[in-house]
Amino acid sequence: MKVSVIGTTGYGGVELLRILHRHPVFNIHSIHSTKEEVPIWNEYPHLYNILENQIEKINFDRISTDSDVVFLATPSGVSSKLVDEFSNKDIKVIDLSGDLRLKKPGEYERWYKKESANSQLIEEAVYGLSEWNREQIKRSKLIANPGCYATSALMGLAPVTKARLIDTESIIIDGKSGTSGAGKALSKGSLFAEVNENFKIYKVNEHQHTPEIEQQLLTWHEGIRPITFSTHLLPMTRGIMTTIYVKLRGQYSTEQILYLYNESYQNASFVRVRPEGNYPSVKEVAGSNYCDIGLHVDERTGRLTIVSVIDNLMKGAAGQAVQNANIMFGFEETLGLEMMPLYP
């Protein structure tokens, strides 16, 4: 099957190329950017003698005619315009930006400080949290791929939220990400001298994944109240660790909560629920599509601590996008994604 990728000069785009290059069904037919038309290895020399594709200008008619699916690895504010051009064409679209995720009018403008996409497209887009929205993804032509922090947080919270075991006013999410999550755009905050041997909080109570997390939690439990969500920058390239704290409604042991999570994710090939007393680290999922989860109930306080880790470029972006493409076309969702984590 033929695949086009728009936005291949960013980290999410080049990660898509890494996955699709070895995918047994999807073939990279064309790659596109608004930058100059040069071989992709000119932008990413590590692809020399591996991918010879030329970066092409965006031609909507040609992409729609030649390819079966197009991935949009473009920034928020750009994707919405591209999706609009594909809306009446016979091609499936997976958007990795935040442009189609927020359904409530005014939320996108408030959190992203940009003009929102066409309301009809937002309504049509299915939220691509693969393990929890499989049936909707199967029937969809347009996917809003989840954000990296949102993926990690929601995978950690889903089982206890759906089982209604938590105090809905008690959710605290502490997220920490590597620098690749900020993309390639130059900024003072991502300079080596600013990040190296440093650890800092950013976008305090203002991160744009906040309403995305709340929106999905509300589909699982209508009583969910606003969350507290903090984000921090780690001095490393890849990875997200999300530590979540929630108050339990009733007395439960770690063993009981682990049983719930193992039951919830028994058919989820990319979710590994760690045994009691074992907690994941970001390096243990690096370069893979896994989400690893560790749990502990503090019986003294009645709080549950959830540790969820992903690779922000894989399960948090390109990996989940390809997983969604597999589901859309009726393939095994693990196809082309069964790579072992890179360690050490």
Q: Helices (DSSP H) in 250-313: which residue ranges? A: 254-264
Give the angle subtended at the CA of 93 by the CAs of 89 and 98, to the nearest 5°.
Answer: 130
CB 211 within 8 A of CB 111: yes
> What is 20-32 written as a DSSP string?
HHT-SS-EEEEEE
Q: Helices (DSSP H) in the chain: which residue ranges? A: 11-21, 40-43, 60-66, 79-86, 107-112, 119-124, 134-139, 148-162, 192-195, 210-220, 254-264, 319-328
C-alpha pair distances (Å), 21 with each of 33, 62, 337: 18, 21, 11
What are residue 306's DSSP bridge partners?
244, 295
Cα separation, 184 vs 191, whole angstroms: 11
Residues in Cβ contact with 18 at an 8 Å cutoff, skipping those fewer than 6 apart: 318
Is 148 a residue of the active site? yes
Q: How many CB atoms lie within 10 A of CB 273?
A: 23
Cα separation, 149 vs 181, whole angstroms: 9
- Beginning with the edge strand found earlier in the chain, give each strand of the sheet holding 142-144 in spatial order: 55-56, 27-32, 2-6, 69-72, 92-95, 142-144, 126-127
Q: How many CB atoms lie within 10 A of CB 15?
A: 26
Find out whether the peptide bond into 146 is cis, omega within 30 degrees of 0: no
C-alpha pair distances (Å), 162 with each of 108, 135, 147, 157, 316: 26, 17, 20, 9, 22
Spot the catalytic one: 6, 17, 70, 148.
148
Q: Which residues are marked as active site? A: 148
